[in-house]
Amino acid sequence: MDDSSTLFNRVGGAEWFDDLATGFYDAVAMDPILRPLYPDDLVAAREHLRDFLIQYWGGPTTYSDSRGHPRLRMRHVPFAIGVAERDAWYSHMAAAVQAGGLRDEDEAEMLSYFANAATHLINEPTPTM
């Protein structure tokens, strides 16, 4: 495999994902919708996200080696995630991705993944008027 075979390699490896997770969690720390869903200390959450994304996009399997199968939906069931939470999460993640200086096609692939993943984690009914 050459260096362009995975998105992990195309973005330059773990450092890019560390920057992504840091940018995302810097925004979460200030978000009135999302902040209450997270523990007081965001360090472990940031590391888990970083390691999951590194593995998902073709890097080392540190996440699964230490935490087992990702089981994203199961891990998020305890948290009330509605459309507002999904939109806030995606907004911060999209901003972090867009700040990463990716090639257009890599950015589009990541944004599509994150939009789908965020929607998949919704577990609260949409309020009706």
The pLDDT value recorded for residue 79 is: 81
The 10s digit of each residue's pLDDT in 63-90 is 888 887 767 766 777 788 999 999 999 9
The 10s digit of each residue's pLDDT in 51-65 is 999 999 999 999 888
pLDDT band (50, 70, 90) for residue 1:
very low
* Cα(53)–Cα(12) distance, integer angstroms: 13
How open is the CA angle 62-67-69, to the nearest 5 degrees? 95
CATH class for the region spanning 7-120:
mainly alpha
Q: Cβ contacts of residue 71 below 8 Å, gap of 6+?
A: none
Domain boundaries, the chain: 7-120
